[in-house]
Structure 1
Amino acid sequence: MAATARVPGELLPHLRRARDLADRDYAQPLDLGELAATAGVSKYHFLRCFAAVYGRTPGVYLAERRVERAQDLLRATNLTVTEICHLVGYTSVGSFSAKFRQLVGTSPSVYQAKFAEHGAPRIPGCYVFMHGLSDRNTAISEKRGPSRRT
């Protein structure tokens, strides 16, 4: 049995802050250093503590958030798999499809087709882009707005 890292209680709010950053800005190119800086600890200490608290590494956690959002977009919009791939923060359709298949058990296009046949009316992609319904547009506008004051 592997030993688990003990996480000091005072570190938990800082880990939550980094997790919240991953939840909010998942479509941005986040790396371990940025998440660790948000928590105020070194990269490797952050990696150990995050995995001990949340049961997965920050990279796995971020990939799960991206795939969950992709599932929402695949079910509800008429965007292409490539457009969704980029909206959720992947730069490679191959990497996105492989991770999606690993986590969901099917390819993004098969997943989308399943819901196109039986799902509710789909939101046109142009509407998603124009009206900021994608989290990527919301996250970018929040960074520019006055609400990001510290």
Structure 2
Amino acid sequence: MPARENHNAQPLAPPSAPDSADALQDPALLRRLLRAKDRMDAASHKAWPVKRLAEVSGVSEAHFARSFKRAFGVPPHRYLLSRRIEQATTLLRDTGLSITEIAFATGWESLGTFGRTFHDITGQSPSAMRLEAQANLPRLDRVPACVLKAAQRPDLTIAVLEKRRRVAKDTFPPSTKEEP
């Protein structure tokens, strides 16, 4: 005797985390996350610890960090680093400021940290980036600034320390805590 088909059966929905999908669809939370992101964009040269960003957003530190990463694809600190490097690249290309002035203007407390992080992210030293940008300046004059910024935006989908580990071929042990 053939088995009867159940035409009323519903297909199984894929399993999902209970809060992850709902949290990103909460318009109020997204507005608060965007408020914090806008503050970082407007003043990327300032220190933005997670505690301060969470206060701006009106949520706990842990909830803010998780929600920010889920909403924007990168943790808050990495997002801030990308904005600082983007701003530094623009200043290197468009101004005659010294590299030290650019480092401090974009929020770095140490010229060495700025240079090392800039090189880790872009693959070039700030001075090499400036020379290349000046050499390409005649060709870039006709490119809108917003397109140029987007094209030169650093890709920080992995942490800077992870990039260093890969370059060093794992010559030092991985950190157990993420940089703030």
TM-score w.r.t. length of structure 2: 0.61
Distance in 2, matches of 1:5 and 1:117, equals 47
Q: Does the alignment pair 1:99 with 2:117? A: yes
> Which shifted more, 67-76 or 23-32?
23-32
Q: Quick one: which of 12, 30, 55 aligns to 1:37?
A: 55
- Structure-2 residue corresponding to 1:54: 72
Q: Quick one: which of 121, 124, 127 aligns to 1:109?
A: 127
- Structure-2 residue corresponding to 1:5: 20
Give the conservation status (yes or no) of the 8 Å contact 1:50–1:58.
yes
Larger Rg: 2
- 1:31 Cα deviation after fit: 1.1
Between Structure 1 and Structure 2, how many residues are aligned?
118
- Structure-1 residue corresponding to 2:45: 27
Q: Structure 2 stretches of 5 or more lacking a match?
A: 1-16, 139-180
Secondary structure of residue in 2 paired with 1:111: helix
Matches within 5 A, 1:70-81: 70-81=88-99
Q: Which amino acid aligns with 2:69?
A: A
Secondary structure of residue in 1 paired with 2:44: coil
TM-score w.r.t. length of structure 1: 0.73
Distance in 1, matches of 2:57 and 2:136, equals 43
Give the conservation status (yes or no) of the 8 Å contact 1:5–1:48.
no
Distance in 1, matches of 2:20 and 2:75, equals 13
- 1:21 Cα deviation after fit: 0.5
- 1:118 Cα deviation after fit: 4.0
The alignment's C-alpha RMSD in Å is 1.6
Distance in 2, matches of 1:97 and 1:117, equals 21
Q: Which amino acid aligns with 2:70?
A: A
- 1:42 Cα deviation after fit: 0.9
Q: Which structure would you say has the larger RCO, counting Cα contacts within 8 Å and 6 or more residues apart?
A: 1
Give the conservation status (yes or no) of the 8 Å contact 1:27–1:66.
yes
- 1:103 Cα deviation after fit: 1.9
Q: Which amino acid aligns with 1:91?
A: E
Deviations 1:38-74 (A, max 9, x none): 1001111100000011000000000000000000000
Deviations 1:67-98 (A, max 9, x none): 00000000011111111000000011111112
Distance in 2, matches of 1:100 and 1:5, equals 33
**Greater share of residues in helix:** 1
